[in-house]
Structure 1
Amino acid sequence: MRAIVMREFGGPDVLRLEDVPEPAPRGGHSLVEVTLAGVNYADVHVRGDSYLAPVELPYIPGNEVVGTVDGGRRVVGLTRGGGYAERTLLHRRVTWDVPDDITDEQAIALALQGNSAWHLLFTALRITEGETVVVPAAAGGVGSLAVQLAVHAGAKVVALAGSEAKRKVAAELGAHAVVDSTADDLTERIVAAAGGPVQAALEMTGGATFAATLAAVAPRGRLAAYGFAGGELASVPTRELMERSLTVSGFWLPQLYADRTALPTSMRALFDAVADGRLKPLLGATYALGEAARAHHDLAARTPTGKLALDVAR
């Protein structure tokens, strides 16, 4: 089997194709013939040894795949690594049959990023109709889905993006206002776009962007942090939290893997929303399996829009 193997922490050049033994099915697992493997910021963090979970080398990245089991049944599922491969193991608890009216490309956008967007909005933030919510990286995998889900839930969306082209994409997805995420006066721009402080916000950059976003949240508002793509973790000022009665929560999707109802509920809602046209996954570039290093480089440079994937047959 051909797979991407990480030999040491470092730059993209440590990702390369090698022959590795085929995984042996274990209790509760199915062996999947991989069609597409999703590429996520988590994979970049793993390569740089800055992921939330410890990584033992050598390691095969990849936390989501679309493929076939049992001679052709299409499935999409979540892994704890091992996705950048021709074959991998999926636990049945985090594996779902792909409906006939959902394409492989749409399905790969829903497994990790779709579930993350859904639970960030409806489990962590618990947004309600009429509230205003800030969505960062609004042309990216999670952000583009979160914009649409929030709009269809009746929320007003202030979308953040770092380029004019990405801000245009966010507006086309339904965002009520778009803001340059690189602006020095980010707090003021968010508040101006929203017509006042916001009730809810997502945050995935860290550092100064975290602080600027939190400052735009209204008293008794909520912020959910789900990443630090900028490379700098943020410290939460507890005095400010108390003074404004703010709620700041962290979110990491693997904490839901053992939950018997959370992910099945969100996957069913996501499949239904795509099938009836309410949700349109923003599909980005698809790379060959041997181009995983380039996919990581592009993602870290924040140049792509939409969902990135590896086509293992190329």
Structure 2
Amino acid sequence: MRAIQITEFGGPEVLHETELPDPVAGPGQLLLDVSAAGVNYADTHTVENSYLSRSSLPMVPGAEVVGRTAQGRRVVALTDNGGYAQKAAVQEHLAHDLPDGVSDAQALALVVQGLTAWHLLRTSARLVPGESVVVHAAAGGTGSLAVQLAKEFGAGRVIATASTDAKRDLALELGADVAVDGAAEGLKERLVEANGGAKVDIVLEMTGGPVFDASLAALAPFGRMVAYGMASREPATPVAPAQLMGRSRAVVGFWLAHCLGRPGMYREPIAELLAMTVKGTLKPQVGGVYPLSGAARAHQDLRSRRTRGKLVLDVTR
């Protein structure tokens, strides 16, 4: 089978197309003929071995696929790497049958990024209707879904941040009440101004570094910031307990891996997201479709912040 494999850690340049033996499904697994694979920002960390879990070589990256079983079932599934390939063996309990009204790309937008957005709001931030929500990188895969879900879940004011006018316009189209520049300098002041002069209740933060610091400073008493990424690859200022106690603020970490296998935290949210997509109340944004051989270019585009929405590898090309 054709696959993208890395034999050394590094940036996009280590992603190479090659021929590999087909995987063999073990107990409790399904073997899929993959039609499309999702590209996530976490993949860029995985290939340089800078993610929360350690990587091992050689490796086929890719954490999500859409494909068909030998019996014809069309499913979307999480993978333990191995997604950038024509075939993948996936755990059956992490495979979800797809309705006809959902495209491959839409399904891929939901399985990692949609689930993450759902849990950021429901599980970690525990959004209460009427609260203000800041969504950083609001034109990205997770952010574009979080903007829509925050409105659907009753947020009083959704404040989007993004790096360009075009991305901010997209966030407004998706339902954000206001969109501001996401640069760290002056960010606290812009967030407070966007919230009518009041500090904010919830921040969904995936950049790290100075953006993390400014977001924490913008939190109201009893505000919650959920940290779920480190896209800047810059360290944030360490948070002392007194900083949290003095404003009754909370910083919550989130990693989707901890939801897998827990009752009610995988299949049920996925089913809800798929139903919303079929109904049209949730619109996953597809930002780019690349051939399998274009995996390195997809990583380059993602790291350079040139993209919006979900990036997909068309494994049939």
Q: Give the TM-score band, short-chain normalised.
A: over 0.9
Give the equivalent residue in structure 1 for 2:34. Answer: 34
2:184–2:211 CA contact under 8 A, matched in 1: no
1:145–1:281 CA contact under 8 A, matched in 2: yes
Give the equivalent residue in structure 2 for 1:222. Answer: 224
Identify the range of structure 1 (5-14 vs 135-144) with the bigger mean alpha-carbon deviation. 5-14
Runs of 4+ in 1 over 2 A off after TM superposition: 233-238
* C-alpha distance in structure 1 between counterparts of 2:148 and 2:281, whole Å: 8
Q: Map Cα deviations across residues 115-165 of structure 1 (whole Å, 9 max, x no partner).
A: 000011101101021000110110000000000000111102100101111
**Paired amino acid for 2:310:** K
**Paired amino acid for 1:223:** M
**Paired amino acid for 1:63:** A
Give the equivalent residue in structure 2 for 1:286. Answer: 289
Where 2:266 maps in the other structure, the secondary structure is helix
Query: Deviation of residue 20 (structure 1)?
Result: 1.5
Say how many residue pairs are matched: 314
1:38–1:108 CA contact under 8 A, matched in 2: yes
Structure 1's unaligned 5+ residue stretches are none
* C-alpha distance in structure 1 between counterparts of 2:17 and 2:257, whole Å: 27
Q: Give the fraction of aligned pairs with identical amino acids, expressed as a percent.
A: 50
**Paired amino acid for 2:24:** A
2:121–2:127 CA contact under 8 A, matched in 1: yes
1:177 correspondence with 2:184: no
Equivalent position to 2:268, from 256, 265, 270? 265
Give the equivalent residue in structure 2 for 1:10. Answer: 10
Query: Deviation of residue 72 (structure 1)?
Result: 2.1
Equivalent position to 2:204, from 202, 205, 210? 202
* C-alpha distance in structure 2 between counterparts of 1:268 and 1:233, whole Å: 36
**Paired amino acid for 2:213:** A
Give the equivalent residue in structure 2 for 1:152. Answer: 152
Query: Deviation of residue 71 (structure 1)?
Result: 3.4
Cα RMSD after superposing both structures: 1.0
2:184–2:214 CA contact under 8 A, matched in 1: no
Where 1:154 maps in the other structure, the secondary structure is coil
Q: Normalized against structure 2, the TM-score is what? A: 0.97
1:93–1:257 CA contact under 8 A, matched in 2: no
1:22 correspondence with 2:26: no
**Paired amino acid for 1:209:** V
Give the equivalent residue in structure 2 for 1:311. Answer: 314
**Paired amino acid for 1:158:** I
Q: Normalized against structure 1, the TM-score is what? A: 0.98
Query: Deviation of residue 245 (structure 1)?
Result: 1.3
Query: Deviation of residue 183 (structure 1)?
Result: 5.1
Structure 2's unaligned 5+ residue stretches are none
2:184–2:210 CA contact under 8 A, matched in 1: no
Where 1:244 maps in the other structure, the secondary structure is coil
1:163 correspondence with 2:161: no
Where 1:308 maps in the other structure, the secondary structure is strand
